[in-house]
Structure 1
């Protein structure tokens, strides 16, 4: 390996109070500083159709986390021993994590959609002794794996009661969260200083988190993240975000958090609020995101690009359905708004007349769109995959700029972050304070700093492949850096492929561009490795294409709509437009519209919405082969 550099950024030290040695220290400090401020709000169901949002203060959260920590201690959990969480995003996930941190144990994250074989590997490889399981479905999965996970001594059921037959057959192997907290209260009555003693004994280099990579290829690897990375990331994120003319993160902000907390970005968004003190509204139901934004009215939200694509396409589809003056106003306001946004960020120009039109368009159109998102959004944060530049520019024109970030599980989420005053469309911004980035001679992005992992759990060979002895981490991403130190990610090194004509193709950039052009698109999967030309698999957003079909007089269900010649003609038009922006060897020559969308349940996309290309190629091998017959 080499660290030869084609471009680099200097590292600046981030001031951190030496008394802060762990996430537990950070939470304890937050409770001392602002005990009565809201920490979390979350939905509570009161039946089939009724729910309310309830909240807890920092003091209440601390008390509950202490009970969880005490419960874990009563089960014999010691410092740095592993405790897993298999759950979707909800308040109890955050509570369990904070309790684990208070006990100075280490959180192991498990996506609830992870297949049983991988769950068994993760729990066994990590040495997890306790597992928080969200519901009966997760408990049943663990029951089926019990012989394969002999190290797991207790399963804590987060939601619902333990069925009698489970309690009888497992002799108390499964207990409820309420029971764990009850045991915790008893433990703390007998040992009042137990939580403080654990926190005081925890140090920066003690293991805090094991996150297993989602496994787009091969068996997942456990990334070892000590407390050091979270303490650094929280402080560096604050310094970086507030280094410009306006502060992006303050105690008066409000975050809406839906991201999978098993993902490293979600985990970071659990640490930032305990450092800064703002409220988090938490609910992981993806189908409720837009509705929840209108209810909780956050000032910011982190997301994967797919959510922004769906939101934009939903609005565009609604305007097209309305038709007439409303549709024309929408497109006019979008066009002049984007022109002004581009001009304000160094691209092109906008005359006083265009700026006046944009102000009118904002009052008539964009202000109403902002209300759909709660009316208080200052910005969004996008990570995990490439963001389509046209959609990013539209959100900027709507007064809700998308600040792209960049990082990996191995770099604890935040490596680079763009800010409004250095915004450049398509770039992920400059590295955070305290992080160095280099571009190697082959274009690979290299990272060094306190946010880099310790290595892969039980896998020194894989660690040596990516982590240099002097601390430089090889990301596997291809990128470039401009004169202002802003980084642009162009593709994954391993995803670049070469056609049989010897030309390299970067599929992610082509895919992102198409999803920005086609308002009914869900996914485009570019293929062509060792093939004579590039082809693609296309899936369509069911709601958007059904609305389109209704306007075109095309009837039927989703499968019937995607087989209709009118649909094929429509998609071909967008493919032609896409090809007009591509080099000849990148252009999509043939495509198939699939009969269904790609799904997490099929293991075709990760829970963080990244494509698992090998699985997709295996599942649709027949369709791909037909392109080259």
Structure 2
């Protein structure tokens, strides 16, 4: 088995817990800005001392309400300031946070609350409260954030002494459970991942003060979070930002991202490939609408060429001159759309694609791909400044070992590996072997320098009727990068050839006027481009464009935008049959 390890950089003491830095920074740098929260159109500073005081006040309220060490507290909300306050207050009171996506159905909420044994829940809105009360009518405590729950908790907790809070907060160590994060569940019911304080702190400090340190040591460092904090990726970044003293801001949904980027002016951004695809597509559509499509495409090609050249010895004079010219005409406008200060971003969740990675690096916003799972406390590998190999998900971060099994499955070891599945020791035994390796289910390759490339999911490998093994993910990622395409799912298990279900992006379609024949030609061009990456037997021979998009709201995507393949296969069986003429 091929392995690659990176030594531990920060040896986090097992006595530490996730609240330590927040409370200590309030003593060391009370006036430093920890968070900026949006009030109306203004970004209002929250100092380290103010944030600590709010967290402490809410934590005292939880203690007064009867929360005991180890009690599970659900948290159902969009990404916002109060989410982070509640998250840290639960920890300060000795509790265990159980995040729930704010888009979850009553059945999903019922499962998570009942399986975790949650004693209480924070909700954001009246609608969320209705969902929780329908799902768990016997839940004794439900605190509504929009209804003033945090303020009420602070008031009711005034009788709890500082000494009681300190005893409760410091009673937690690295071994203690910090959170139960339920996997998105592309198949079956979600499983709860037991994540300890040590899992989170070991990961956060070794990433933040190791490979990505330069992102969090620049002047006026600031980051805007808009991905759901219920997802382990965003949650880890929240912790990293507070551990490093990087100013944190929240925006509740994708619709607010563009204006909030310009208003907040972050230096760092966290996203998933679909976010960066949309940024590129929006810029392309705007340029085309203004009659500048040819200029944009020429600028994009130069950015990609320049990025590739810089990674392999440096661009020549002619290319540098072109790049400088397009920087004034195009790239500065793209950077201005992100606030003008953004230079770095981290992408995870699925493959970004080399073209898009090189494009953004060429325009001056370097996107560093990383990889991991909820079971690995989010990241296991990440590309780093000065050694960003586009097309890979980077090397292991300090303290992590990556192994590639004989069948290509990626195995992981390290202190960031979760403590097992909640109430499901059988499932835990299936993924953690006797040697301590976590079996990820992803398939990949390690190059000679220790960079990991993801090539597919072990359970999603398609086997055609001719016996050819086909990994759908690379094909899907490539096709989805097209400006008009929203989602794609490659099919062909036990079929004579590989096919694809495609949906179109409603926002992108609104910007163009194309006949059905022209739309099919656009999709075919995207498929032709993807087919160039694979052998003839793996190429997509036929496709069908579905009438409507598949989304989280339709039940076909997880909150982290992964396709629920089994449900798509079930709900679009007729279209698949037509694809194969049956």
Query: If the TM-score is normalised by the length of the shorter chain, which range does it land in?
Result: over 0.9
Kept in 2, the 8 Å contact 1:89–1:283? The answer is: yes
Alignment counterpart, residue 73 of structure 2, candidates 83, 86, 107: 83
Kept in 1, the 8 Å contact 2:12–2:202? The answer is: no
Distance 1:531 1:139, change over 3 A: same
Matched, 1:248 2:212: no
Q: CA deviation at 1:241?
A: 2.3
Q: CA deviation at 1:477?
A: 0.5
Matched, 1:286 2:254: yes
Residue in 1 that maps onto 2:466? 501
Alignment counterpart, residue 150 of structure 2, candidates 150, 171, 177: 177
TM-score, length-normalised on structure 2?
A: 0.96
Q: CA deviation at 1:332?
A: 2.0
Aligned-CA RMSD value: 1.7
Residue in 1 that maps onto 2:488? 524
Secondary structure of the residue that 1:193 maps to in structure 2? helix
Matched, 1:304 2:276: no
Q: CA deviation at 1:242?
A: 4.8
Alignment counterpart, residue 620 of structure 1, candidates 563, 572, 578: 572
Matched, 1:26 2:50: no
Secondary structure of the residue that 1:494 maps to in structure 2? helix
Q: CA deviation at 1:295?
A: 1.1
Matched, 1:397 2:365: no
Matched, 1:197 2:187: no
Give per-residue Cα distances to partners, 1:505-542, cap 9 Å, x unaligned: 111100111123x2211111111111111111111111
Kept in 2, the 8 Å contact 1:104–1:198? The answer is: yes
Kept in 2, the 8 Å contact 1:24–1:104? The answer is: no
Kept in 2, the 8 Å contact 1:253–1:298? The answer is: yes
Comparing 526-535 with 457-466, which one deviates more in the overlay? Answer: 526-535
TM-score, length-normalised on structure 1?
A: 0.89
Alignment counterpart, residue 215 of structure 1, candidates 185, 192, 197: 185
Residue in 1 that maps onto 2:119? 129
Secondary structure of the residue that 2:309 maps to in structure 1? helix
Residue in 2 that maps onto 1:231? 201
Kept in 1, the 8 Å contact 2:371–2:382? The answer is: yes
Q: CA deviation at 1:17?
A: 5.5
Distance across 1 between alignment mates of 2:190 and 2:375: 13
Residue in 2 that maps onto 1:597? 549
Comparing 500-509 with 328-337, which one deviates more in the overlay? Answer: 328-337
Distance across 1 between alignment mates of 2:536 and 2:564: 26
Secondary structure of the residue that 1:314 maps to in structure 2? helix
Kept in 2, the 8 Å contact 1:20–1:26? The answer is: no
Distance across 1 between alignment mates of 2:349 and 2:521: 32
* Count of matched residue pairs: 580
Matched, 1:206 2:176: yes
Distance across 2 between alignment mates of 1:615 and 1:225: 29
Residue in 2 that maps onto 1:170? none
Distance across 1 between alignment mates of 2:178 and 2:350: 26
Distance 1:419 1:192, change over 3 A: closer
Distance across 1 between alignment mates of 2:26 and 2:316: 51
Q: CA deviation at 1:248?
A: 2.3
Distance across 2 between alignment mates of 1:442 and 1:449: 21
Residue in 2 that maps onto 1:57? 47
Structure 2 unmatched ranges of 5 or more: none
Residue in 1 that maps onto 2:32? 37
Distance 1:8 1:612, change over 3 A: same
Secondary structure of the residue that 1:182 maps to in structure 2? helix
Secondary structure of the residue that 2:233 maps to in structure 1? helix
Matched, 1:515 2:480: yes
Distance across 2 between alignment mates of 1:177 and 1:57: 18
Alignment counterpart, residue 290 of structure 2, candidates 297, 322, 326: 322
Residue in 1 that maps onto 2:141? 154
Comparing 206-215 with 20-29, which one deviates more in the overlay? Answer: 20-29
Distance 1:424 1:15, change over 3 A: closer
Residue in 1 that maps onto 2:344? 379
Q: CA deviation at 1:11?
A: 4.2
Q: CA deviation at 1:19?
A: 7.9
Secondary structure of the residue that 2:483 maps to in structure 1? coil
Structure 1 unmatched ranges of 5 or more: 46-50, 162-175, 555-563
Alignment counterpart, residue 491 of structure 1, candidates 449, 456, 478: 456
Give per-residue Cα distances to partners, 1:81-120, cap 9 Å, x unaligned: 1111011111111110010111121100111112211211
Secondary structure of the residue that 2:162 maps to in structure 1? coil
Matched, 1:421 2:386: yes
Residue in 2 that maps onto 1:119? 109
Kept in 1, the 8 Å contact 2:76–2:128? The answer is: yes
Kept in 2, the 8 Å contact 1:20–1:231? The answer is: no
Residue in 1 that maps onto 2:321? 356
Give per-residue Cα distances to partners, 1:307-356, cap 9 Å, x unaligned: 11111111111111222xx3232222222221121011128x74211111
Distance across 2 between alignment mates of 1:414 and 1:606: 19
Matched, 1:546 2:510: yes
Secondary structure of the residue that 1:140 maps to in structure 2? helix
Give per-residue Cα distances to partners, 1:41-82, cap 9 Å, x unaligned: 22234xxxxx43323111111111111111111111111211
Distance across 2 between alignment mates of 1:614 and 1:19: 41
Kept in 2, the 8 Å contact 1:537–1:592? The answer is: yes
Residue in 2 that maps onto 1:313? 281
